[in-house]
A = this chain, B = another copy of it.
Amino acid sequence: MVESARLRRRSLRQTEIVFLQGDPATAVYVVAAGRIRLVRHLADGSSVTMHVARAGETFAEAVLFADFYHCDGIADVGSEVVMIPKPDILRAMAADPAASLGLARLLASQVRDLRSRLELRNVRSASERLLAWMRLNAAGNPPIVRLDRSWTDISADIGLTREAIYRALAALERDGRITRGDGIVGLSVMGGV
Contact = CB atoms under 8 A, between A and B. Distances in A.
A104 B111 contact: no
A43 B143 contact: yes
Nearest to A60: B112
21 contacts: A42-B135, A42-B138, A43-B140, A43-B141, A45-B190, A48-B132, A51-B116, A51-B118, A61-B108, A62-B111, A64-B104, A65-B105, A70-B112, A93-B101, A100-B101, A100-B104, A107-B107, A111-B114, A114-B118, A117-B118, A121-B121
Copy number in this complex?
2
Nearest to A38: B115
A14 interface: no
A132 B107 CA distance: 26
Contacts of A101: 93, 100
A128 B44 CA distance: 16
Given A70-B112, A111-B111, 17 more contacts: A40-B136, A42-B135, A42-B136, A43-B141, A44-B138, A44-B143, A48-B135, A49-B122, A50-B115, A51-B118, A62-B108, A93-B100, A100-B101, A100-B104, A107-B111, A114-B118, A122-B156
Q: How large is the interface on A (under 10, 10 to 19, 20 to 34, 35 or more residues)?
A: 35 or more
Interface of A: 40, 42-46, 48-52, 61-62, 64-65, 70, 93-94, 97, 100-101, 103-105, 107-112, 114-119, 121-122, 132, 135-136, 138, 140-143, 156, 159, 187, 189-191
Which 7 A-B residue pairings sit nearest by Cβ, starting from the closest?
A: A100-B100, A107-B107, A114-B114, A51-B115, A65-B105, A50-B116, A44-B189
